[in-house]
Structure formats: C-alpha cells, structure tokens
C-alpha cells in the first residue's frame, strides 16, 4: 500500500473550484486518482415504470463529467469512470493501485449514506469524508443539529449574517499524473443505461450544457455581464426565457457550481458595484437550498416517508391512472399540463410551475406526493435530493411549511403569471 497514493471520489462536487480538501491534497504532493462511479442504485427502473435517472438528467451528467475530465487532462491527470456498485469498483481500484485512502464529500441522504456504509464495510478501504458541498459545515452552525429550527425563517435569522464573510476558497491548479498501471475504461454511452439521447426541444427555457466551464460562464454572464442579478426578485416568477431566473440550479445540483462560489461572487459584486433586494434574494434562495440539506441531516429517512417530518397523516391515494394523467400533462388543467409538458420534453420547469403542479397533484388530485417527487427526480436536470424532497414535503403539508393547508389555485396563478397565454400556447400547441 502506497501512503502517498489516494483516490478522490467525486460525487455531487464535479468541479475544481471550491475544493479545499482536493486542493490541499494536490499541494501536499499526494498522487491522486480522480474517480467517479455511476452507481447502479441510481439508474434502476421504479415500479411506476420510469427510470430513477431519466435521459435529460443523464445527458447533463455526461456533459459535466466530460468537462471535468477535460480539465483534469489539462492538468496532466484524467477522470477514472466506472459503472456498478461504488464500493466494489473502489475495491478493484485500490487493489490495482495500492491507494491507501479515499477522500470524498459528505452527503446526508439515505442512499448516499448507504453507499458510504458499504465502502467503510470493505476491509481494505479507508474513507475520509469532508463537508464541502454546502455553504456551511455542521460545526459552523450556531446550534446543534437536533436543535435545527423546523421553520426556515428562524434558521435564516440565525445564519444569514455568516453569508457576508463568505469568500472564494480557490481552485485546484495542479494535479499529479495518473499511475501508469491504471487505465480508464471506454467512455460510457446512453446504450450502457438502456436509454437514448434525448432530443433538444427548441422551446426550452435555456440550452443547458453540463460542466463547470459552462457553470462559471453562466455565473459571470448573469452577475457581471448582463447584471440580471439586479432584477432577479422582480423576474423570478417568470415562465419563459433564460433570464427570468439565475438558472444556476442544474450546475448546483451536481456540484459543477459551488453555492459558496455564487455567494462569494455576489458579495464581490455588491462591494464593487451595488446591492439591492434582488442581490439579497439570490442569497435568500440559496439559504433555502442550504436549509433543506440540514433538514435531511436532522431527520434522515423521514424526508422520504409519506407522513414527512411532521408525522402528519395524509390520506393520499396511489392512483396510477390519475398520476399518469398528471405525469404526461393530460389533466385538463392547461396551466398544469403546459408545465408538465415542459418538464417531460426539456428536463426543466420554473419554480412557479413546480409549486403549482405539486399542489395540483397533492391537493386537487389527492395523489401521494412521493409519486410526484419521484417523477421530478427522474426528469429534472437540476434534481437535488434535499431540495426536491424538502420542497415536495412542504407543498404536501408534511414538511417545513408553518401554514396549514396551503393551496394553489392554478387558474388564478395562470391568469396572474401567464395572462397573455404565451407560455401555455408554447407548450400545448400541437
């Protein structure tokens, strides 16, 4: 075993910026093997008949990994990609290379924790986890995790002053060569997952392309070039176009973009240019994202249970026939159907749309909210386990919403946010 040879297991941190542990390892002269695994558990077919990871999300992930590999090759390294059981694949690589330790970012969700447990259960594997995917480490929080407030506003008031001190932690600028005895496998394709590459729909809000390079381009464009960040609060409920919202979420979801990097850039913009309610509101939304991470840390598998973290008994049905109408955009409610068509055909949907279609499934159709959360998981290119399940619990009334029986009147919402019908006509036309 070579104590100077280690594996860096990329998970939802597919970037070289804001990687303090990887940066420290490279600067300390460790021989690093960059590794990523398509774990089979995330690519299974659900009992509902669709894949847990659908083609839109897979395409964005392929692009993100290709970009990461390109960057690593520019530094003289490369990304070792495998498919299968992560623990088994890591065991093979450590046996082949003699690597002494595996470094990776800590996650909090059930399947992710199970993967960590499996790795730690293999005798010769030593896994060292670090917290670098959120805005804060657990030790940064001004309370113990079991005292995490169950209402977002209380959480926000306790932590938001910390955002002012966030700065860029730098990027990995050098990397050791891959060991000579390690060869990468052939690049994976859609066929390896029994899928076909999804078609690009010209109606999509934006032509998203995965990877850190595109993420940083979008960050610079939105904040510094167009300064659209100054109008975010006014436009964030839009439905059409690339600039009604930041569109950072797909890159944030797989870690091609760090939330800390976004906050740091906005802080710099506010110092060098100006600040207003919109620059604050982007940070406000990132605090929501952070909050759901810690809710998962506090409650564990409860975020996936029908009764949620409130243990609120909800008498929702698992009517697959009605669910299919919702899933495919055939409910008869034109605002819901337009949003569901957009999701199905592009892998994206506005925040306003998500709240409406989720409310419709839970409250109008009385369907088990977890079916909707699973469809979002399959389709959304910006699927994030914490935000997705946290938001669905919220809308279903079993999560962190302090209001009782919140309900969206989808027709009134359509009249308010799509008065000219441009959005509905775009997605419902034949």
**Res 430: pLDDT:** 66
Q: Quick one: what percent of the chain has pLDDT higher than 90?
A: 87
Six token digits for residue 429: 């036309």
Angle between helices 55-74 and 369-379 (to 10 degrees): 40
**Res 368: pLDDT:** 96
**Res 409: pLDDT:** 96
Contact by Cβ (8 Å): 68, 79: yes
Distant-in-sequence, close-in-space partners of 38: CB < 8 Å, separation ≥ 6: 81, 82, 83, 84, 188, 193
**Res 412: pLDDT:** 97
**Res 292: pLDDT:** 98
Q: How far apart are CA 212 and CA 175, in angstroms?
A: 17
Report pLDDT digits (tens) over 92-108.
999 988 998 999 999 99
| CB burial readout 116-129, b (16+ within 10 A) else e | bebbeeeeebbbeb
Q: Comparing C-alpha atoms, which of 200, 192, 242 is closest to residue 60?
A: 200
Report pLDDT digits (tens) over 305-342.
999 999 888 878 889 999 999 999 999 999 999 999 99
Q: Comparing C-alpha atoms, which of 46, 29, 36, 28 is closest to residue 9?
A: 36
Domain segments of the chain as ranges: 2-133, 134-166+212-299, 305-428
- For domain 2-133, give the CATH number: 3.40.50.620
Six token digits for residue 188: 């994976």
Distances (CA, A) of 218 to 25, 121, 271, 320: 29, 41, 20, 39
Which of 163-167, 253-257, 311-315, 396-400 has the least mean pLDDT? 311-315
pLDDT bracket for residue 86 (50, 70, 90): very high
**Res 170: pLDDT:** 86
Contact by Cβ (8 Å): 316, 326: no
Q: Assess whether pLDDT exceeds 90 at residue 178.
A: no
**Res 401: pLDDT:** 84
CATH architecture label of 134-166+212-299 = Alpha Horseshoe (1.25)
To which residue do tokens 């100006």 refer? Answer: 274
**In a 3-state reduction of DSSP, which class is residue 129?**
strand
**Mean pLDDT across 412-428:** 97
Contact by Cβ (8 Å): 171, 16: yes
Contact by Cβ (8 Å): 132, 13: yes
pLDDT bracket for residue 28 (50, 70, 90): very high
**Res 182: pLDDT:** 73
CA dihedral 39, 45, 47, 52 (to 10 degrees): 60
Q: Assess whether pLDDT exceeds 80 at residue 363.
A: yes
DSSP 188: P
Q: Assess whether pLDDT exceeds 90 at residue 181.
A: no
**Res 315: pLDDT:** 75
Report pLDDT digits (tens) over 341-362.
999 999 999 999 999 999 999 9
Contact by Cβ (8 Å): 312, 362: no
CA 138 from chain centre, in angstroms, equals 19
To which residue do tokens 């030593």 refer? Answer: 126
CA 364 from chain centre, in angstroms, equals 28
Contact by Cβ (8 Å): 35, 90: yes
Six token digits for residue 143: 């309370």
Q: Quick one: what percent of the chain has pLDDT higher than 70?
A: 98
DSSP string, 346-366: HS---HHHHHHHHHIIIIIS-
**Res 345: pLDDT:** 97
Distant-in-sequence, close-in-space partners of 422: CB < 8 Å, separation ≥ 6: 240
**Res 186: pLDDT:** 54
What is the reported pTM? 0.96
Superfamily of domain 305-428: DNA Cyclobutane Dipyrimidine Photolyase, subunit A, domain 3 (1.10.579.10)
**Mean pLDDT across 391-417:** 91
Contact by Cβ (8 Å): 309, 150: yes
Report pLDDT digits (tens) over 132-175.
899 999 999 999 999 999 999 999 999 999 998 888 888 998 88
CA dihedral 424, 376, 381, 418 (to 10 degrees): 20
**Res 428: pLDDT:** 97
Q: How far apart are CA 335 and CA 366, in angstroms?
A: 18
Q: How far apart are CA 63 and CA 109, in angstroms?
A: 24
Six token digits for residue 239: 């439905």
DSSP string, 75-117: TT---EEEEE-HHHHHHHHHHHH-EEEEEEE---SHHHHHHHH
Task: Work out the burial of residue 194: count CB atoms within 10 Å of its CB; fewer than 13 is exposed, 13-18 middle, 19 or more buried.
Answer: exposed
**Res 1: pLDDT:** 67
Report pLDDT digits (tens) over 198-230.
999 999 999 999 999 999 999 999 999 999 999
CA 273 from chain centre, in angstroms, equals 30
**In a 3-state reduction of DSSP, which class is residue 45?**
strand
Q: Comparing C-alpha atoms, which of 59, 108, 117, 53 is closest to residue 85?
A: 117
Contact by Cβ (8 Å): 338, 427: yes
DSSP 175: -
Distances (CA, A) of 359 to 104, 220, 362: 37, 34, 5
What is the residue-averaged pLDDT of the chain? 94
129 phi, psi to nearest 5 deg: -100, 150
């Amino acid at each position: 075993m070579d104590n100077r040879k280690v594996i860096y297991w990329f998970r939802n941190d597919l970037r070289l910026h804001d990687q303090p542990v990887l940066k420290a390892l490279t600067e300390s002269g460790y021989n690093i093997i960059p590794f990523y695994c398509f774990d089979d558990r995330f690519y299974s077919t659900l009992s509902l008949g669709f894949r847990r990871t659908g083609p839109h999300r897979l395409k964005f992930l392929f692009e993100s990994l290709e970009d990461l590999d390109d960057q690593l090759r520019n530094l003289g390294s490369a990304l070792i990609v495998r498919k299968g059981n992560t623990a088994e694949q890591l065991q093979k690589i450590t046996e082949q290379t003699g690597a002494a330790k595996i470094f990776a970012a800590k996650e909090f969700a059930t399947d992710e924790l199970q993967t960590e447990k499996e790795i730690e259960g293999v005798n010769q594997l030593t896994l060292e986890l670090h917290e670098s995917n959120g805005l804060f480490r657990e030790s940064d929080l001004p309370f113990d995790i079991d005292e995490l407030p169950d209402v977002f506003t209380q959480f926000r008031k306790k932590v938001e002053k910390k955002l002012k001190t966030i700065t860029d932690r730098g990027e990995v600028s050098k990397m050791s060569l891959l060991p000579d005895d390690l060869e990468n496998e052939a690049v994976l394709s859609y066929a390896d997952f029994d899928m076909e590459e999804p078609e690009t729909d010209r109606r999509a809000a934006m032509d998203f392309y995965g990877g850190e390079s595109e993420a940083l381009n979008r960050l610079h464009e939105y904040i510094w070039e167009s300064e659209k960040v100054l109008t975010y609060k006014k436009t964030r409920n839009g439905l059409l176009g690339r600039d009604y919202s930041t569109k950072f979420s797909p890159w944030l979801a797989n870690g091609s973009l760090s939330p800390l990097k976004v906050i740091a850039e906005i802080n710099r913009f506010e110092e060098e240019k100006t600040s207003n309610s919109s620059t604050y509101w982007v940070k406000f939304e990132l605090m929501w994202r952070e909050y759901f991470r810690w809710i998962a840390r506090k409650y564990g598998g409860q975020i996936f249970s029908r009764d949620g973290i409130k243990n609120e008994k909800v008498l929702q049905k698992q009517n697959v026939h009605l669910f299919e109408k919702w899933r495919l955009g055939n409910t008869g409610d034109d605002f819901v159907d337009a949003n569901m068509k957009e999701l199905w055909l592009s892998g994206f949907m506005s925040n306003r749309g998500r709240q409406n279609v989720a409310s419709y499934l839970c409250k109008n159709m009385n369907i088990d909210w977890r079916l909707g959360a699973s469809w979002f998981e399959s389709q959304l290119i910006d699927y994030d386990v914490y935000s997705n399940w946290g938001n669905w619990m919220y809308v279903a009334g079993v999560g962190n919403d302090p209001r009782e029986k919140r309900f969206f009147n989808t027709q009134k919402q359509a009249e308010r946010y799509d008065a000219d019908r441009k959005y509905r006509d775009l997605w419902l036309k034949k």
